[in-house]
């Protein structure tokens, strides 16, 4: 299982872009990078995933470095509702093992 | 289309009692998972299933049993509840192509064992 490393917590001002980093230096060639978030007391929510190329959807953008050893999740215009724990995961098979994630605080 | 539904949402058990948590999905998903989350902690995988009639152990399977008799349902059983099993339990499902689709999670079952 590719180990991922994320900062414990981050702050971001409301309306600004939130950039959440993740290191996955042991990731193998066929392991995808997934991002989920968990808003207080709710079930985790899938955000985005990618393999090599950068990805964008209605929620966020995912930037993966060329060597695939790290990635950044970008929330382009953070709102107070984006306050949550964000998990970066690189599962080797059909089950996801969650780490501690990054607690993102959006400041008004 | 309800997604993933967990029943019950809350439960208080006495030590030694048994109970079954039900997870139901209406998306025709192949894979289903049970996680637990202790206060202030991350999610830990208990058991999972990659298809009807199959189950497998996750990170913390002891004290739990599961069954997947129907594709749409995944049951988590506690045979003899202990206070250490006080937690929030989340169920998740995936259509079976985890490289292209994320998991869908339920809203959780909050279990207290006294």
At A18-65, the pLDDT tens digits run 999 999 988 888 888 999 999 988 999 999 999 998 999 999 999 999
**B-contacting residues in A 20-59 (Cβ below 8 Å):** 32, 34, 36, 38, 41-47, 49, 51
Q: d(Cα A58, Cα A22) in Å, to the nearest integer?
A: 21
Return mean pLDDT, chain B: 93
Helix (H/G/I), strand (E/B), else coil: A67: coil
> What mean pLDDT is predicted for residues B106-114?
97
Q: d(Cα A40, Cα B40) in Å, to the nearest integer?
A: 10
Given the structure tokens 């695939």, which residue do they identify? A68
**Residue A67: which residues within 8 A CB-CB, separation 6 or more?**
none
Name the β-bridge partners of B99. none
pLDDT tens sequence across A62-88: 999 999 999 999 999 999 999 999 999
Q: What percent of chain A has pLDDT over 70?
A: 98
**Under a CB-based contact definition with an 8 Å cutoff, are residues A39 and A82 in contact?**
no
Q: d(Cα A63, Cα A61) in Å, to the nearest integer?
A: 7
**Under a CB-based contact definition with an 8 Å cutoff, are residues B37 and B83 in contact?**
no
Residues of chain A with C-beta less than 8 angstroms from the C-beta of B43: 38, 44, 98
Distance from CA of B46 to the nearest CA of A (A): 10
pLDDT tens sequence across B46-89: 999 999 999 999 999 999 999 999 999 999 999 999 999 999 99
SS3 content of chain A, % helix, strand, coil (to 5): 5, 45, 50
A101 touches chain B (CB under 8 A): yes
Distance from CA of A29 to the nearest CA of B (A): 13
The answer, yes or no, to whether residue B97 has pLDDT greater than 80, is: no
**What pLDDT is stored for residue B72 in this prediction?**
97
**Under a CB-based contact definition with an 8 Å cutoff, are residues B23 and B34 in contact?**
yes
**What pLDDT is stored for residue A20 in this prediction?**
98
Q: Are B108 and A32 in contact (CB < 8 Å)?
A: no
């Amino acid at each position: 299982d590719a180990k991922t490393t994320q900062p414990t917590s981050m702050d971001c001002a409301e309306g600004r872009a939130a950039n959440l980093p993740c290191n996955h230096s042991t990731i193998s060639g066929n392991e995808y990078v997934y991002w989920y978030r968990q808003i207080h007391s709710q079930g985790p929510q899938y955000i985005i995933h990618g393999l090599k190329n950068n990805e964008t959807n209605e929620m966020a953008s995912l930037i993966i470095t060329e060597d695939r050893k790290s990635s950044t999740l970008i929330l382009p215009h953070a709102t107070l509702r984006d306050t949550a724990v964000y998990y970066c995961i690189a599962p080797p098979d059909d089950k996801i093992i969650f780490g501690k994630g990054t607690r993102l605080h959006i400041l008004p | 289309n309800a997604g993933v539904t967990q029943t019950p949402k809350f439960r208080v058990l006495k030590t030694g009692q048994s109970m079954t948590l039900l997870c139901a999905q209406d998306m025709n998903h192949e894979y289903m998972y049970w996680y637990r989350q202790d206060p202030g902690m991350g999610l830990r995988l208990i058991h999972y299933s990659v298809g009807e009639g199959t189950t497998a152990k996750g990170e913390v399977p002891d004290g739990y049993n599961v069954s997947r008799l129907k594709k749409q349902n995944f049951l988590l059983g506690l045979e003899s509840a202990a206070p250490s099993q006080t937690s929030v339990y989340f169920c998740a499902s995936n259509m079976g192509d985890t490289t292209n689709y994320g998991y869908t999670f339920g809203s959780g079952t909050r279990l207290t064992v006294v």
